[in-house]
Amino acid sequence: MTRIPRNVIIFGPTWVGDLVMATANFAAIRRHFPDARITLLLKPGRHLVVDGSPDFDEVIVASSRTVADIWRLARRLRALRFDLALLFPNSLRSALISFLAGIPQRVGYRRDMRSFLLTDVIEYEREGTKRRPVPMPFFYGKLCEQVGVTLEDSSARLHVTEACEQAAREHIERLGIAPGEKLVGLNPGASFGSSKLWPGEHFAVTADALHREHGSRTILLVGPGEEAIANEIVRHMETPVINTSSDILPLDVLKPVIRDLQLLVTTDAGPRHYAAAFGTPVVTVMGPTDPRYSAVNLERSEVVRHDVPCGPCHLKVCPIDHQCMVGITPEEVLERVKDLDRQLGVF
């Protein structure tokens, strides 16, 4: 008879969007192991995404960038005596840390020659010789099935604490936004790489058109290092815009702000998945990534993309003409906004 784990650690995804999608799996793990102590391991900053979640007893935030970091983290985890590790990242590093920590059962996908470090090796679903793209909750779900966890609901789950609500109210007040004011959000950045970026002028044209037609104020949401992207959009805009690049919203405060938007227009980045989790109408401009990885929780979403001969390439920087993104017009995005408005009454 298989021993029921009492002390579980989940190595969480790195990318914000993947982490948001994985919250469905986290809830399933908690349901399946209601009496276990469950810990989530995340890279610095990502804990703000899951702040307030009831699915963990502890969240460990740690870097593993250097050899010294890896040894230090492995010793820390060894002292906590976990009996099961679920490795959501496909990295050699996560497998090495779980092995050095002496965790008896280590479950992960076959990747990067790391199989010898795992006790339970999961095989990819294949399309010919390549991995078959499936939505991330189902990809993680197959891994979790190895320990008996079944994904019954793929809906993402984000939580907002009262402290976060208060911080958001203070942030919104500093930006000159009235309580309860309805806004259209633009999220033009993407930490993945420049290949996911849509031209700033296209964002500006889209926001100007929405303001003229619906009277909506625009709030420009960017992350650290994306200030230049925001400033380019502002230069091209002809209507009022709230630019947060000088007062960037942290990942936790971003949750209630996106929750309360009328609409979000975004690249294929983390805030897109925030919107899906909260049911905020969202139009996503997508280029180099395969849409099948994120084809989940799309009930209040529209995705605008073009099939191009070179895509989906999953490259961080486009080596040629970037037609998968620059070829998408503001008019196409505005038409998808109209579709959402007809379905949902966005405005």
Q: CATH code at 41? A: 3.40.50.2000
| Domain assignment present for 1 | no
33, 110: one domain: yes
Distance CA 11, CA 109 (A): 13
Distance CA 84, CA 142 (A): 16
Structural domain of 276: 162-344
What are the C-alpha distances in Å from 168 to residues 224, 225, 306?
18, 21, 36
Using an 8 Å Cβ cutoff, are 172 and 185 in contact?
Answer: no
What digits encode the pLDDT tens for the residues 117-145? 999 999 999 988 888 999 999 999 999 99
Distance CA 151, CA 11 (A): 18
What are the C-alpha distances in Å from 237 to residues 83, 232, 340?
55, 9, 23
Q: What's the structural domain count of the chain? A: 2
Residue 51 has pLDDT above 80, yes or no: yes
In this structure, the dihedral spanned by the alpha carbons of residues 87, 49, 25 and 107, taken in order and rounded to 10 degrees, is 10
Instruction: Work out the pLDDT band at 2, boundaries 50, 70, 90.
Output: low
In this prediction the pTM is 0.96
| Domain assignment present for 157 | no
Sheet holding 37-42, edge to edge: 58-61, 37-42, 7-11, 84-87, 105-109, 120-122
94, 221: one domain: no
What digits encode the pLDDT tens for the residues 252-287? 999 999 999 999 999 999 999 999 999 999 999 999
139, 172: one domain: no
139, 231: one domain: no
